[in-house]
Amino acid sequence: MNFELTPVQSELRELARRFVKKNIWPIVEHDEETGTFRPEIIAGLGELGLTGIPVPEALGGAGLGYQEYIVALEEIARASAAYAISVAVTGLPQVILTEGGTDAQKSKYIPPLASGKAIGSFSLSEASSGSDAGSLRTTARLDGSHYILNGTKLWTTQADSASTILLMARTGGPGPKGISAFILEKDTPGLRMGKREKKMGLHISHTMECVLENVRVPIENRVGAEGAGFQVAMNALYAGRITIAAVALGVAATALETAAHHSRERQQFGRPIGELQGVQFMLADMATSLDSARLLVQRAAWLKDNGLPFATEASMAKLAATDMAMQVTTDAVQILGGSGYTQDFPVERLMREAKVLQIVEGTNQVQRMIIGRAVHQQKEF
């Protein structure tokens, strides 16, 4: 068992680190305050091969695995969870089409996404279907060579910037078996953006309402068989939980580094506060929980890369990493005291970013349900 990064992983980390230092850190606070999303950031990451890491080289990707993917995402998230999530969400259509798309779908849609020249999105949730994704109501009715889609989707990340949206709609009866998956292209007639959500964090990453009014989608843009859409979505979410966990690692790492630096610089009672046992204990817990979560994320990525069952382990990684990030960022604000509550330091932003990571890609309550069912059925521990 080797816990060191491979040469390829180390190179990816350095590529991401240099890009982030030059291109994201200087603008992240301004862009979070103004809600500015810069597609050129994704394009720049794409030029380095960081937007299509787990995609085969024949389709324009790097031909690597999730063990490499999580290294890059953590580095990007150290500066901006929003841009890291943008990379991860652009990756969802790539993963879905790589695993279940037709040759024509793969060749048309994956290379632009893998290169960072195009941005992708994933649309599942609705007003009446969040954790209960199988209850979605958006309809897709077959009409000759096209499906006609009607409905409203919520919580669609970067839909306003995306050229390709992987969207779930109901083609059959109630429940998961009546759902199918579709590729929607930007500017398709009848598809329009509704309201942009006003969120407590991730202002760079726009979360959109998508309104579909008699949207005609060619039958060749259906992904997989009719009625297979729910499983398509779930498979994407299993993998997506690993990426969200990696984002949480990056958020927590910057919070810990900021708190540790402050503990060395801040003097109280005639000495640095880091020499006080109360602060040392907090730093110790933060570092230990970060390392523990990182090991779970690495294990889930290793299982996926090796073709082994990984869904439960992905839920464990997502649960542990995002709960950890929430605690570590909260403690970082506490260690910085009043300064931590101001926008002069990044920890207040990191704390707001960590909160949503406990919700997206399946709430942590849902992750506990998944893990609990698996434990109930397990006979040996």
**Which CATH number covers residue 358?**
1.20.140.10
Q: Helix or strand or coil: residue 103? A: helix
Radius of gyration for the alpha carbons in the chain, expressed in angstroms and rounded: 21
For the chain, how many structural domains are there in total?
Answer: 3
Q: What is the DSSP letter of 128?
A: T
Are residue 241 and residue 366 in the same domain, yes or no?
yes
CA 114/CA 101 separation, integer angstroms = 15
Q: Which residues pair with 157 in a beta bridge?
A: 207
Residue 89 counted as domain residue: yes
Residue 209 counted as domain residue: yes
Nearest to 28 by CA among 71, 76, 87, 89: 76
Are residue 289 and residue 360 in the same domain, yes or no?
yes
Q: 204, 227, 250 — which closes off a domain? A: 227
Q: How many helices (H) and strands (E) does the chain have?
A: 11, 10
Are residue 139 and residue 91 in the same domain, yes or no?
no
Are residue 69 and residue 135 in the same domain, yes or no?
no
Catalytic residue among 213, 275, 361, 380: 361
Residue with structure tokens 């790492």?
253
State residue 164's pLDDT score.
Answer: 97
Residue 164 counted as domain residue: yes
Residue 2 counted as domain residue: no
DSSP per residue over 11-74, as a string? HHHHHHHHHIIIIITTTHHHHHHHT---HHHHHHHHHTT-SSTTS-GGGTS----HHHHHHHHH
Are residue 259 and residue 367 in the same domain, yes or no?
yes
Are residue 58 and residue 131 in the same domain, yes or no?
no
Q: Helix or strand or coil: residue 121? A: strand
Task: Indicate which CATH number applies to the domain containing 208.
Answer: 2.40.110.10
90 Cβ contact list (under 8 Å, min separation 6): 42, 51, 113, 116, 118, 119, 120, 121, 158, 162
Residue 218: both structure tokens together? 């060619």
CA 112/CA 123 separation, integer angstroms = 19
* Segment (H or E) for 310: none
Q: Helix or strand or coil: residue 236? A: helix
State residue 379's pLDDT score.
Answer: 76
Residue 268 counted as domain residue: yes
Q: Helix or strand or coil: residue 320? A: helix
Are residue 190 and residue 261 in the same domain, yes or no?
no
b/e per residue, 203-242, with b = 16+ CB within 10 A? bbbbbbbbbbeebebeeebbbbebbbbbbbbebbbbbbbb
Cβ contact 156:210 at 8 Å: yes
Q: 212, 227, 242 — which closes off a domain? A: 227
Are residue 129 and residue 84 in the same domain, yes or no?
no
Cβ contact 137:129 at 8 Å: yes
Cβ contact 220:182 at 8 Å: no
Examine the residue annotation and report whether 361 is marked as an active-site residue of this protein.
yes
State residue 284's pLDDT score.
Answer: 98
CA 79/CA 249 separation, integer angstroms = 12
Q: Which residue range forms the structural domain that includes residue 143?
A: 121-227
Are residue 267 and residue 359 in the same domain, yes or no?
yes
Cβ contact 251:354 at 8 Å: yes
Which amino acid makes up residue 320? A
Could you report the per-residue pLDDT of 267-280, keeping only the tens digit for each? 999 999 999 999 99
Q: 197, 227, 257 — which closes off a domain? A: 227
Give the start-end residues of each E strand in 97-138.
Answer: 120-123
Residue 171: both structure tokens together? 């083609």
State residue 216's pLDDT score.
Answer: 97
CA 51/CA 37 separation, integer angstroms = 16
Task: Indicate which CATH number applies to the domain containing 102.
Answer: 1.10.540.10
Distance between alpha carbon 15 and the CA centroid of its chain, in Å?
A: 20
State residue 321's pLDDT score.
Answer: 98
Are residue 216 and residue 254 in the same domain, yes or no?
no
Give the start-end residues of each E strand in 171-273.
Answer: 179-185, 191-196, 207-218, 222-223, 267-268, 271-272
Residue 1 counted as domain residue: no
Distance between alpha carbon 31 and the CA centroid of its chain, in Å?
A: 19
Are residue 163 and residue 260 in the same domain, yes or no?
no
Cβ contact 203:82 at 8 Å: yes
CA 128/CA 358 separation, integer angstroms = 20
**Within the chain, which residues score under 50 in pLDDT?**
none
Are residue 236 and residue 363 in the same domain, yes or no?
yes
